[in-house]
Amino acid sequence: MSASKRDELVQKALKIFYRDGFHVTGMDKLVKETGISKTSMYNHFRTKEDLILASLRLRDELFRNRTYRRMDELTDDPREKLLAMFTALDEWFRSEEFTGCMFIKASGEYPIPGTPIHSFSAEHKKLILSHITDIARQAGARHPEDLARQLMILKEGAIVTAHMQGPDNVADDAREIAKVIIAKDID
């Protein structure tokens, strides 16, 4: 399988895993839905878990790039950028593709800390937390790590709520709470 065929497999597997979950998606289902033979899959991925990790890496890249780019498009002001995160989330919540957070799902299906899939899912969240912390510093937060952690908890709760109850008002409510949290830390 060429590199482009490998990339195509990862992209297709990402959609299937995101839509259906990890444990319920067997290799036979992947073969059927991707049109790529099991032999070809195993030429690039020794195990299904290796393919899951490749899919998570792609999802991480796509999610962070899209979210950060959208935040940057909405404003140059760091304080407003912290709030723009919730606008970017709202747009995602209302998209046809939204079915919750793939990393929350992955860590739920692979719950043992230290295992590769759980660890990668946790790393994704750490990368976002680091980015939010950097923005909080740029915004002049007195306690940027604390502020970022609080906003991250709010962001994660909004994702779960939008997935379980629908997107109406979720990001708006989260943004209003974020304003209060930010005002306590940034003059």
Cα–Cα distance measured from residue 61 to residue 40, given in angstroms and rounded to the nearest whole number? 24
Candidates 184, 186, 176; CA nearest to 83 is 176
The average pLDDT across 124-131 equals 98
Cα–Cα distance measured from residue 149 to residue 170, given in angstroms and rounded to the nearest whole number? 19
The average pLDDT across 44-70 equals 97
Element (H, E) at 20: helix 3-20
In the 8-state DSSP scheme, what is residue 97?
Answer: T
CB 171 within 8 A of CB 90: yes
pLDDT at 40: 87
CB 44 within 8 A of CB 1: yes
Cα–Cα distance measured from residue 105 to residue 24, given in angstroms and rounded to the nearest whole number? 12
The average pLDDT across 146-160 equals 98
pTM over 0.85: yes
Q: Which two tokens stand for residue 75?
A: 């404003």
pLDDT at 154: 98
The average pLDDT across 159-175 equals 98
pLDDT of 2 over the 90 cut: no
**Chain centroid to CA 2: how far?**
28
Sign, CA dihedral 37-97-18-83, equals positive
pLDDT of 5 over the 90 cut: no
The average pLDDT across 46-63 equals 97
Candidates 111, 110, 15, 107; CA nearest to 58 is 15
Domain boundaries, the chain: 55-185
Using CA atoms, how far residue 86 sits from 6, 56, 135, in Å, is: 34, 22, 14
Chain segment 33-53, per-residue pLDDT in tens: 999 888 888 888 999 999 999
pLDDT at 4: 85
pLDDT of 179 over the 50 cut: yes
Q: Identify the CATH class of 55-185.
A: mainly alpha
pLDDT of 1 over the 70 cut: no
Chain segment 94-114, per-residue pLDDT in tens: 999 999 999 999 999 999 999
